[in-house]
Chains A and B, each alone.
Chain A
Amino acid sequence: DTGVSQDPRHKITKRGQNVTFRCDPISEHNRLYWYRQTLGQGPEFLTYFQNEAQLEKSRLLSDRFSAERPKGSFSTLEIQRTEQGDSAMYLCASSLQRGGTDTQYFGPGTRLTVL
């Protein structure tokens, strides 16, 4: 069990540029979540997948954000036309959903800075 991995760990970009982040979940996990965390706040839900299906997307998520999990394994999160308000830590978590429980394990995160 190698844990959840994320790439890159840090990204600095200029306003208006597009960025893409990758998450590789724990291998047998069927669910994958994306959260965003800003300083002094708890993580905020963005979206999640069960296998390759995107089951929920936060109402707070701008149309500039899109996520995919094409083969039910790794996932990508793309932010188009970045804004300074997008600066945050983007966290990926995975879980093996069975029965009613869903224990999520987080990756190291990708810290995005938009200049």
Chain B
Amino acid sequence: QKEVEQNSGPLSVPEGAIASLNCTYSDRVSQSFFWYRQYSGKSPELIMSIYSNGDKEDGRFTAQLNKASQYVSLLIRDSQPSDSATYLCAVNRWEDTGTASKLTFGTGTRLQVTL
């Protein structure tokens, strides 16, 4: 089982619709969760972080975390063609030092927003 799993897609949604991206993780000691957006040929760009169970909203983006189910999702409202990219889910865990460190990434979900 991969540590972080995402559906590779592509996920195709029409402009203006809600895109729902999902991620599951296997390590129960994972503590921090991140969504990065990556355009083709570019580096990952941080969109959202979430640490506690529940929802966290930032503009058109909402991250949802359920630690009991080991599940994190990203909702994109009013999807725009410019949202077309690969979305990477990343987790990090508490190390023996008592801090979080390296990120473990999923393979990413490719989102296509169609006109």
Contact = CB atoms under 8 A, between A and B. Distances in A.
Q: Do A and B bind each other?
A: yes
Interface stretch (A14-22, A70-78, A79-87, A101-109): A101-109
B54 to A, nearest CB: 17
A1 B78 CA distance: 30
A41 B107 contact: yes
B45 A106 contact: yes
Interface stretch (B10-18, B55-63, B66-74, B86-94): B86-94
B102 A40 contact: no
Contacts of A44: 105
Contacts of A93: 103
Contacts of B92: 102
B28 interface: no
Interface string A33-44: 101000011111
Interface of B: 4, 8, 31-32, 34, 36, 42-46, 49, 51, 88, 90, 92, 94, 97-108
Interface of A: 31, 33, 35, 40-45, 48, 55-56, 89, 91, 93, 97, 99-109
Given A41-B107, A106-B43, 14 more contacts: A31-B101, A40-B8, A40-B107, A42-B108, A43-B88, A43-B103, A48-B102, A89-B43, A97-B101, A101-B100, A102-B99, A103-B34, A103-B49, A104-B46
